[in-house]
Chain A
Amino acid sequence: MKGVIKRYGERVVLDRVDFSIAPGERVALMGPSGSGKSTLLNCVGGIDRPDAGEVHVAGKRIDRLDHDALASLRRRTVTTIFQFFHLLPTLTASENVALPLQLLGIKSAECDRRVAELLGSVGVDHRADALPEQLSGGEMQRVAIARALAPEPSVILADEPTGNLDSTTGESILDLLESLSDRLGCALLLVTHSRRAARICHRTLLLRDGKFEGHA
Chain B
Amino acid sequence: MPESMDMAESRGVVALLFRRFTLRHWRRHWRSTALLVGILALGVGVFLSIRLANRAAVSGFDLFTESISGESDFVLRPRAGQVLPESVVTDLRAAIDPLPVVIFPVIEATVAEASGDTTEAAPKQLLGVDLVGLRNLASFGAGDFGDEDGGVGFQLGSPNHGFVADTWARNEKRKPGDSFDLIINDRSTTLTIAGTLKDDPLRPAVPENLVLMDLPGAQTLLGMPGEISRVELVVPPGSMATEFRQRLSERIETLSASDTVLWRLETRNDRRASAAKMTHAFRLNLTVLSTLALLVGTYLILQAMEAAVVRRRSEIAILRSLGVEPGTIRRVWLAESLALGVVGSAIGIGLGWAMAQLAVGGIARTVNGLYYATTTEAAGLDPSETLLAFTFGVLASLLAGWLPARDAASTPPAQALRTGNRVDGFKLLQRPGLGVLVALIAMVCGWLPVWITASGNRWPVGGYLAALGWLIALSILAGVLFVPLSRLLMIWFQRIPEACYAASQLRRPTGRHRLAMAGLIAAIGMASGMGILVHSFEGTLTGWINQLLRADLYVATAGATNATNANVLTPTTWRQFAEDESVEGVDVIRRYSLEFRGRAIKLAGSEYNQQSDRRIRMNWLQSPENSDPQSLTIVESDGAVPAWVNEAFSRRFLIGRGDRIELVTPRGPQAMTVKAVYADYSDEAGTVLVNRNFTAQWFDDETVSNAAIYLKPGMDHEAARARWMEKFPALVIRGNVKLRSEALRVFHQTFAVTYALEAIGVVVAVIGLGLALASLLVERRNEMTTLNSIGFTRAQIARASAIEGSALAAIGLAGGFALSLILGVLLIYVINRQSFGWTLEFRVPWGLLVGLGFLTLATSAAVSAIIGYRGSQLRGEPEE
A76 interface residue per 8 A CB criterion: yes
A83 interface residue per 8 A CB criterion: yes
CB distance from B365 to the nearest CB of A (A): 53
Pair B497/A47 contact, Cβ less than 8 Å: no
Instruction: List, in ascending order, chain B residues with CB within 8 A of A194's CB.
Output: none
Instruction: List, in ascending order, chain B residues with CB within 8 A of A87's CB.
Output: 786
Instruction: List, in ascending order, chain B residues with CB within 8 A of A88's CB.
Output: 501, 504, 783, 786-787
Given contacts A74-B788, A76-B791, A79-B790, contact A33 B880 (CB under 8 A): yes
A139 interface residue per 8 A CB criterion: no
Chain A stretch 110-128: residues in CB contact (< 8 A) with chain B: none
CB distance from A198 to the nearest CB of B (A): 16
Chain A stretch 148-166: residues in CB contact (< 8 A) with chain B: 151, 159-160, 163
Which of A33, A87, A103 has the largest number of chain B CB atoms within 10 A?
A103
For the complex, what is the distance from the CA of A139 to the CA of B420, rounded to whole Å?
18
Q: Which chain B residue has the least Cβ–Cβ distance from A82? A: B879
For the complex, what is the distance from the CA of A107 to the CA of B783, rounded to whole Å?
25
Flag the segment in A18-26, A54-62, A64-72, A174-182 that touches B: A64-72
Chain B stretch 488-506: residues in CB contact (< 8 A) with chain A: 494-497, 500-501, 504-505
B789 interface residue per 8 A CB criterion: yes
B793 interface residue per 8 A CB criterion: yes
Pair B495/A80 contact, Cβ less than 8 Å: no
B665 interface residue per 8 A CB criterion: no
Among A45, A68, A84, contact of B879 (Cβ-Cβ < 8 Å): A84
A38 interface residue per 8 A CB criterion: yes
> What's the tally of chain B residues with a CB closer than 8 Å to chain A?
32
Instruction: List, in ascending order, chain A residues with CB within 8 A of B878's CB.
Output: 38
B782 interface residue per 8 A CB criterion: yes
Instruction: List, in ascending order, chain B residues with CB within 8 A of A95's CB.
Output: 500, 504
Q: Which chain A residue has the least Cβ–Cβ distance from B785? A: A86
B422 interface residue per 8 A CB criterion: yes
Q: Which chain A residue has the least Cβ–Cβ distance from B509? A: A90
Among B494, B504, B785, contact of A108 (Cβ-Cβ < 8 Å): B494
Pair B876/A90 contact, Cβ less than 8 Å: no
B507 interface residue per 8 A CB criterion: yes
For the complex, what is the distance from the CA of A45 to the CA of B790, rounded to whole Å?
10
For the complex, what is the distance from the CA of A34 to the CA of B508, rounded to whole Å?
37
Which of B507, B793, B876 has the largest number of chain A CB atoms within 10 A?
B793
Chain B stretch 211-248: residues in CB contact (< 8 A) with chain A: none
Given contacts A90-B505, A159-B879, A163-B879, contact A47 B788 (CB under 8 A): yes
Pair A38/B786 contact, Cβ less than 8 Å: no
CB distance from A63 to the nearest CB of B (A): 16
A147 interface residue per 8 A CB criterion: yes
Pair B496/A74 contact, Cβ less than 8 Å: no
Among A38, A86, A105, A160, contact of B789 (Cβ-Cβ < 8 Å): A86
- The 0/1 profile, CB within 8 Å of A marked 1, for residues 781-811 of chain B is 0110111111111111000000000000000
CB distance from A167 to the nearest CB of B (A): 19
A6 interface residue per 8 A CB criterion: no
CB distance from B78 to the nearest CB of A (A): 75
A52 interface residue per 8 A CB criterion: no
CB distance from B423 to the nearest CB of A (A): 11
Instruction: List, in ascending order, chain A residues with CB within 8 A of B876's CB.
Output: 86
> Could you list some 12 contacts between A and B, CB below 8 A?
A38-B879, A47-B785, A47-B788, A71-B792, A80-B789, A86-B782, A86-B789, A99-B501, A100-B791, A102-B495, A102-B500, A103-B796
**A-side interface residues toward B, CB under 8 Å?**
33-34, 37-38, 45, 47, 67-68, 71-76, 79-80, 82-84, 86-91, 95, 99-100, 102-103, 105, 107-108, 147, 151, 159-160, 163
8 closest A-B pairs by CB: A75-B791, A90-B504, A102-B497, A71-B793, A86-B786, A74-B791, A80-B789, A83-B879
